[in-house]
Amino acid sequence: MKKVALLFNINRHKYEYETEFDSELTINSIYEVLSKKYEVNKFEADQDFNWIEKLNKFKPDLVFNICEGYFGPARESVYAAILEQLKYNYSGPDSTNLLMCHNKYLVKNLLKNYIDVPKGYIICSKKDINLLINVKFPVIVKLNSEGSSMGMNENSIVYSFEQLKEQVLFLLNKYDRNILVEEYIEGQDISMIYVEGIGPLGPCIIDCDSKFYDYEMKTIKDDKVEIKQLDGDFDSLKKIVSCIVNKLDIKGYAKIDFRKKDDKFYLIEANAQVSFHPNGEFITCAKKDGYSFDRIINFIVENAIKDNKKINSIGYKEINNDM
């Protein structure tokens, strides 16, 4: 029987940075599915990295990596990079994918000649704020390398330079990280997913009582959020997803978030690491195309384990068949 290690960070709701971590429900749901076919062991990726010694003793054939990491813009890629150093095969995106996709500004600049993206600006320090004095409003202000809408609330959409300055200073003082300021797209929040060996799946739509799917809606008021399958012809959106995946050379899987305005789909972010919550966006999109929770989890593992090693991404393809 093949051995699979489930490597994760768990959300105990003690700290804000745990927002990205997986719930016990998600971790146990994955474990239950994989235990039917494999010898599975769970490893919490703690900050002391004690899990490495335990993993080496287990000697898995595959690591099911759903780690998010604790701090910094490269936090998601840390675990994939370590697994590569230890020569373990693992599921999902590789270290290059995880590093690049966690940088929203970088991804959109790489893709802006191929798909619709909001116009954006990066702020690295307080002195950069004055460079945006003539920006066209409204804009939305967010952390460039963060997930789960951390740091975002109703004040994130700003309509004047004074509001912009106030919100940027708030984020810089609280988080001390690079800030992304970009054109605010009024519209629907729509997500698609990609699974290597299958292709684009979905879409789903986020229905919540907010102008956008913000931090509060993803945490405190998550019971008021409905994630629904979206019916209709979305061949054009699937082609856009395929273009994104091909350009970024994404391995394993990804979740791609859009804002739909009129007939255009604007890329909001490409998530290399995803949540497998049974009622979340990834699984809802999979179910839209007939893949149950059990089926999609098993497919991801079977597809990853068959080659016995991770094929690394080059990060960005200049020439390929995009559309």
pLDDT greater than 50 at residue 134:
yes
107 in a structural domain: no
pLDDT value at residue 209: 61
pLDDT of amino acid 221:
40
Confidence (pLDDT) at 217: 39
Tokens standing for residue 187: 């519209």
Nearest to 28 by CA among 293, 317, 314, 319: 293
Rounded to an integer, the average pLDDT of 6-17 is 93
Laid out side by side, the sheet with 188-195 consists of 226-229, 199-207, 188-195, 253-261, 264-271
- Tell me the mean pLDDT in the region 194-216: 79
Determine which helix (DSSP H) or strand (DSSP E) holds 212, and give its type and residue range.
none
- Of 93, 115, 138, the last residue of a domain is 93
Tell me the pLDDT band of 211, cut-offs 50, 70 and 90: low
Report whether pLDDT(315) > 80. Answer: yes
The CATH code of the domain that includes 223 is 3.30.470.20
Query: Are 42 and 144 in a shared domain?
Result: no
Residues 222 and 140 in one domain: no
Mean pLDDT calculated for residue range 84-110: 97
> Model confidence at 101, in pLDDT bands (50, 70, 90)?
very high
Do 130 and 146 lie in one domain? The reply is yes
Residues 81 and 9 in one domain: yes
Statement: residue 254 has pLDDT above 70: yes
Residue numbers of the domain that contains 148: 124-183
**Is the pLDDT score of 24 beyond 50?**
yes
Q: Are residues 178 and 130 in the same domain?
A: yes
pLDDT value, residue 311: 82
> Does 128 map to a domain?
yes
Q: What is the CATH number of the domain that holds 148?
A: 3.30.1490
Same domain flag for 203 and 171: no
The reply to whether 144 falls in a domain is: yes
Q: Give a yes or no: residue 319 inside a domain.
A: no
Over the stretch 139-169, which tens digit does the pLDDT of each residue have? 999 999 886 567 788 889 999 999 999 999 9
Indicate whether 117 belongs to any domain.
Answer: no
Residue 312 lies in a domain: no
Q: Determine, yes or no, domain membership for 313.
A: no
User: In the listed set 70, 93, 116, which residue is the last one of a domain according to the structure?
Assistant: 93
Check whether residue 207 and residue 291 sit in a common domain: yes
Question: Residue 82 sits in a domain of what CATH number?
Answer: 3.40.50.20
Given its phi and psi angles, is residue 192 left (phi above 0), alpha (psi -120 to 50 degrees) or beta?
beta
Residues 230 and 298 in one domain: yes
Question: Looking at residue 323, what is its pLDDT?
Answer: 47
Give residue 240's pLDDT. Answer: 98
pTM: 0.92
pLDDT at position 232, please? 85
Average pLDDT over residues 4-11: 97
For the cut 50, the answer to whether the pLDDT of residue 64 exceeds it is yes
Minimum mean pLDDT range among 32-46, 83-97, 133-147, 263-277? 133-147
**Residues 25 and 84 placed together within one structural domain of the fold:** yes
Question: Is pLDDT at 220 greater than 50 in this prediction?
Answer: no
Residues 158 and 267 in one domain: no
Tell me what percent of the residues of the chain surpass a pLDDT of 90: 80
Confidence of residue 207 (pLDDT cuts 50, 70, 90): confident
* 154, part of any domain: yes
pLDDT, tens digit, 9 for 90 and up, residues 176-191: 899 999 999 999 899 9
Mean pLDDT in residue range 80-96:
97
pLDDT digits (tens, 9 = 90+) for 266-295: 999 999 999 999 999 999 999 999 999 999
Q: Provide the number of structural domains found in the chain.
A: 3
The one-letter amino acid code at 149 reads S
In 3D space, the residue among 112, 144, 116, 114 whose CA is nearest the CA of residue 128 turns out to be 144
Q: 76 falls in which pLDDT band (50, 70, 90)? A: very high
The reply to whether 79 and 141 lie within a common domain is no
Sign (positive or negative) of CA dihedral 26, 29, 33, 34: positive
Q: Is 187 exposed, middle or buried (0-12, 13-18, 19+ CB in 10 A)?
A: middle
Residues 60 and 84 in one domain: yes
